[in-house]
């Protein structure tokens, strides 16, 4: 190894020096905010060499898990900035914040009411605390192929049905990966009537508290649209945000806020101490403090400039013909209270292309879907633009205030060019009318792809995990009880969880994911040939 960089370091350095532009996390977009000066960094004022400041809990540097000095004061400053009762730096991502919030707000063996589109971390929390789980299903927006919000009325119905008052907390995710925001204020009001806390996984919304002006769901000129309110401003009791996703902070950094009389903070603190390393990184903590301070000062103005850049970006793309971009029209859907425009969701729903075409006269040309995967690949290979996520019918470009005008322009120009290219595929307009039956079926299936199948719970998540397991081929697993998760990653939302019956719908869905070449995860058999189920007597 002497004189040689490690393989990973070599690859990272090469990538960092390339012209690939990151439309993905982390939100710093490979730019350092140390010594920030009106949009750029002052000379010689960058973040120090990581090795020079990487220490442990030596005298004078406090202890994250037992803060009494510099870290305590830093987190108190953060709480003041956010307007929370208490804010906690987290070094293991929102994942450990979600685990701590779930375990800290429920009793072991208790019950939680939870949105089915929660990240897998929420399911892991339910396993660790042996919880009974009741699910809230987001409305499915078929025309967009994405999940909508959670209606407050559904929360009320579920809590009213719970006659014995077993539910101890409610957990929702808002904004979602696609930027869909639920009416958190209305949900918090309902949940508080039942005197239990509302936990909001706002992993994707760390930037929201710093937006200049916020909108309500009223009709507002598109060009005046702003960011939604943060869950903390809407009455949520516990809010978890990934600083690294949408703000200029290092990967793994997150923050948990408590603003509530319904939550015992010591309980959450106890679990934060269990789910985090006993050697939290001082680099991460310094990056978090710097990020929060920056956002409270220069960041607010930067957010305004960013809003303007986004408006320009969306405006340039308003005439797309084949591709389409999610916009505030989605707020017309009943369950969608607001939408976070930082998430650029490009739909390929209407796009087809010629497959196997070798010349203009080629008789054997075949029409094929031009899906999210194809768009993501094209953006990467031809334009050197890396997306956050590709789904069957869309891609997501994650933006942040650290995105440059040049970066956004590269994306809009690429999308316009691709759109033009797709338009030239003259079949676009007639395709939908002349689809053969097989392709029509394919199309209909696609539209249902993101709809979460209804879970058939046969036993608790934790019980299923503790049972004796048996490995079985998928084709033989119908009606058996799963001991494993199945999800697409990203976004990491399970379609099957331990303790749930493997229905025909689930089997069809997994087979379909496989034919689409999507990244199905959660199973111990990566070939997806078999699954571990609860052993039958
Ligand atoms: C909705 C949601 N919640 C939580 C998480 C976990 O966040 P982290 O990666 O910061 O642990 C993710 C990660 O993608 C997510 O999408």
Q: Is the pLDDT of residue 352 over 60?
A: yes
Determine what percent of the chain falls in helix, strand and coil, rounding each to the nearest 5: 40, 20, 45
**How many angstroms is it from 322 CA to the middle of ligand 1?**
31
Residue 125 Cβ inside 6 Å of ligand 1? The answer reads no
Give the Å distances, CA to CA, from 4 to 10, 17, 210: 9, 18, 43
**Other Cβ atoms within 10 Å of 380 Cβ, number:** 14
Residue 95 Cβ inside 6 Å of ligand 1? The answer reads yes
Residue 241 Cβ inside 6 Å of ligand 1? The answer reads no
Supply the pTM of this predicted model: 0.93
**How many angstroms is it from 119 CA to the middle of ligand 1?**
6
User: What is residue 137's predicted lDDT score, i.e. its pLDDT?
Assistant: 97
Per-residue pLDDT band at 349 (split at 50, 70, 90): confident
User: What is residue 226's predicted lDDT score, i.e. its pLDDT?
Assistant: 84
Q: 461-491, pLDDT tens digit by residue?
A: 999 999 999 999 999 999 999 999 999 888 9
The mean per-residue pLDDT over the stretch 321-329 comes to 94
Q: 261-288, pLDDT tens digit by residue?
A: 999 999 999 999 999 999 999 999 999 9
Residue 94 Cβ inside 6 Å of ligand 1? The answer reads yes
Q: Which ligand 1 atom sits nearest the alpha carbon of residue 254? A: 10
Q: Is the pLDDT of residue 443 over 90?
A: no
CA–CA–CA angle 387, 21, 174 (5° rounding): 40
User: What is residue 430's predicted lDDT score, i.e. its pLDDT?
Assistant: 47
Q: 197-252, pLDDT tens digit by residue?
A: 999 999 999 999 999 655 554 544 545 658 999 999 999 999 999 999 999 999 99
**Which residue out of 25, 98, 121 has the highest number of ligand 1 atoms within 8 Å of its CB and is therefore the one to mutate?**
121
**How many angstroms is it from 252 CA to the middle of ligand 1?**
10
User: What is residue 447's predicted lDDT score, i.e. its pLDDT?
Assistant: 58
Residue 203 Cβ inside 6 Å of ligand 1? The answer reads yes
DSSP classification of residue 446: H
Higher pLDDT, 228 or 370: 228
Residue 242 Cβ inside 6 Å of ligand 1? The answer reads yes
Q: At what angle do helices 152-161 and 184-193 cross, to 10 degrees?
A: 20
- Per-chain mean pLDDT for the chain: 90
Q: 80-119, pLDDT tens digit by residue?
A: 999 999 999 999 999 999 999 999 999 999 999 999 999 9
User: What is residue 197's predicted lDDT score, i.e. its pLDDT?
Assistant: 98
Give the span between the Cα atoms of 152 and 260, in whole angstroms.
Answer: 19
Q: Is the pLDDT of residue 422 over 90?
A: no
User: What is residue 373's predicted lDDT score, i.e. its pLDDT?
Assistant: 87
Nearest CA, atom 9, ligand 1: 93
Percent of the chain exceeding pLDDT 70 equals 88
**Which residue out of 204, 205, 398 has the highest number of ligand 1 atoms within 8 Å of its CB and is therefore the one to mutate?**
204
List the one residue out of 14, 13, 20, 23 whose CA is nearest residue 402. Answer: 23
Per-residue pLDDT band at 530 (split at 50, 70, 90): very high
Residue 254 Cβ inside 6 Å of ligand 1? The answer reads yes
**How many angstroms is it from 325 CA to the middle of ligand 1?**
23
User: What is residue 219's predicted lDDT score, i.e. its pLDDT?
Assistant: 46
**How many angstroms is it from 254 CA to the middle of ligand 1?**
10
**How many angstroms is it from 243 CA to the middle of ligand 1?**
11
By the 8 A CB rule, do 487 and 481 touch? no
Higher pLDDT, 491 or 37: 491
Sign of CA dihedral 197, 202, 207, 212: negative
- The residue with tokens 């930067």 is 302
By the 8 A CB rule, do 240 and 94 touch? yes
User: What is residue 521's predicted lDDT score, i.e. its pLDDT?
Assistant: 94
DSSP classification of residue 452: P
By the 8 A CB rule, do 115 and 150 touch? yes
Q: Which ligand 1 atom sits nearest the alpha carbon of residue 177? A: 16
By the 8 A CB rule, do 89 and 112 touch? no
Residue 201 Cβ inside 6 Å of ligand 1? The answer reads yes
DSSP classification of residue 376: H
> Under 8 Å CB-to-CB from 288, ≥6 apart: which residues?
89, 243, 249, 253, 255
**How many angstroms is it from 521 CA to the middle of ligand 1?**
16
CA–CA–CA angle 395, 397, 400 (5° rounding): 160
Q: Which ligand 1 atom sits nearest the alpha carbon of residue 97? A: 11
**Which residue out of 177, 245, 251 has the highest number of ligand 1 atoms within 8 Å of its CB and is therefore the one to mutate?**
245
By the 8 A CB rule, do 483 and 533 touch? yes
**Which residue out of 89, 91, 93 has the highest number of ligand 1 atoms within 8 Å of its CB and is therefore the one to mutate?**
93
**How many angstroms is it from 430 CA to the middle of ligand 1?**
41
Per-residue pLDDT band at 166 (split at 50, 70, 90): very high
**Other Cβ atoms within 10 Å of 124 Cβ, number:** 17
- The residue with tokens 């010629």 is 354
The mean per-residue pLDDT over the stretch 5-20 comes to 93
**How many angstroms is it from 80 CA to the middle of ligand 1?**
25
Q: Is the pLDDT of residue 456 over 60?
A: yes
The mean per-residue pLDDT over the stretch 527-536 comes to 93
**Which residue out of 26, 90, 94 has the highest number of ligand 1 atoms within 8 Å of its CB and is therefore the one to mutate?**
94
User: What is residue 429's predicted lDDT score, i.e. its pLDDT?
Assistant: 46
Q: Is the pLDDT of residue 72 over 50?
A: yes
Q: Is the pLDDT of residue 135 over 90?
A: yes
Residue 93 Cβ inside 6 Å of ligand 1? The answer reads yes
**Other Cβ atoms within 10 Å of 443 Cβ, number:** 16
Per-residue pLDDT band at 45 (split at 50, 70, 90): confident
What DSSP assignment string belongs to 98-141? HHHHHHHHS-TT-EEEEETT--HHHHHHHHHTT-EEEEEPPPEE
Give the span between the Cα atoms of 316 and 327, in whole angstroms.
Answer: 13
User: What is residue 332's predicted lDDT score, i.e. its pLDDT?
Assistant: 95
Number of residues written out for the chain? 537
**Which residue out of 92, 199, 203 has the highest number of ligand 1 atoms within 8 Å of its CB and is therefore the one to mutate?**
203
Helix or strand (DSSP H, E) at 352: strand 352-355
Q: Which two tokens stand for residue 445?
A: 């299936």
The mean per-residue pLDDT over the stretch 19-37 comes to 94
Q: 298-316, pLDDT tens digit by residue?
A: 999 999 999 999 999 999 9
**How many angstroms is it from 102 CA to the middle of ligand 1?**
15
């Amino acid at each position: 190894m002497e004189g040689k960089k490690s393989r990973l370091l070599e690859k990272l350095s090469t990538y960092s020096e390339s012209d690939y532009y990151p439309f993905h996390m982390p939100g710093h977009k490979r730019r350092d905010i140390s010594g920030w000066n009106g949009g750029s960094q002052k000379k010689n004022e960058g973040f120090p060499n990581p090795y020079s400041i990487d220490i442990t809990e030596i005298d004078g540097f406090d202890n994250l898990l037992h803060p009494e000095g510099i870290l305590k004061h830093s987190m108190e400053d953060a709480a003041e900035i956010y307007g929370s009762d208490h804010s906690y730096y987290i070094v293991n991502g929102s994942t450990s914040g979600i685990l701590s919030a779930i375990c800290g707000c429920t009793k072991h063996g208790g019950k939680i009411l939870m949105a089915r589109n929660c990240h897998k971390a929420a399911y892991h929390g339910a396993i660790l605390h042996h919880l009974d789980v009741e699910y809230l299903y987001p409305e499915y927006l078929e025309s967009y192929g994405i999940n909508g919000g959670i209606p407050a009325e559904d929360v009320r119905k579920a809590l009213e049905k719970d006659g014995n008052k077993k539910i101890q907390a409610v957990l929702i995710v808002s904004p979602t990966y696609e930027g869909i925001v639920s009416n958190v204020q209305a949900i918090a009001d309902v949940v508080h009537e039942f005197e239990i806390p509302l936990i909001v996984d706002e992993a994707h919304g760390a930037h929201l508290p710093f937006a200049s002006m916020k909108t309500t769901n009223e009709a507002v000129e598109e060009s005046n649209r702003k960011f939604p309110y943060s869950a903390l401003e809407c009455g949520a009791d516990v809010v978890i945000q990934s600083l690294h996703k949408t703000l200029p902070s290092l990967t793994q950094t997150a923050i948990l806020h408590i603003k509530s009389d319904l939550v015992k903070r010591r309980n959450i603190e106890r679990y934060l101490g269990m789910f985090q390393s006993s050697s939290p990184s001082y680099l991460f903590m310094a990056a978090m403090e710097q990020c929060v301070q920056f956002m409270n000062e220069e960041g607010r103005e930067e957010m305004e400039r960013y809003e303007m850049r986004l408006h320009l970006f969306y405006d340039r793309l308003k005439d797309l013909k084949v591709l389409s971009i999610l916009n505030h029209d989605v707020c017309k859907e009943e369950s969608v209270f607001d939408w976070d425009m930082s998430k650029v969701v490009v739909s390929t729903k209407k796009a087809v292309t010629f497959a196997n075409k070798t010349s203009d006269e080629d008789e054997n040309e075949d029409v094929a879907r031009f899906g999210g995967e194809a768009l993501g690949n094209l953006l990467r290979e031809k334009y050197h633009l890396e997306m956050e996520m590709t789904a069957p019918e869309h891609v997501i470009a994650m933006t942040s205030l650290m995105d440059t005008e040049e970066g956004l322009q590269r994306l809009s120009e690429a999308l316009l060019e691709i759109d033009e290219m797709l338009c030239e595929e003259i079949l676009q307009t007639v395709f939908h009318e002349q689809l053969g039956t097989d392709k029509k079926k394919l199309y209909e299936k696609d539209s249902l792809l993101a709809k979460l199948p209804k879970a058939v719970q046969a036993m608790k998540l934790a019980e299923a995990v503790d049972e004796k397991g048996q490995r079985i081929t998928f084709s033989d697993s119908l009606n058996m009880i799963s001991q494993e998760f199945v999800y697409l990653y990203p976004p990491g939302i399970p379609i099957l969880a331990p303790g749930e019956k493997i229905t025909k719908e689930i089997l069809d869905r997994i087979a379909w994911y496989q034919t689409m070449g999507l990244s199905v995860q959660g199973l111990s058999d990566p070939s997806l040939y078999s699954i571990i189920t609860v052993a039958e007597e």
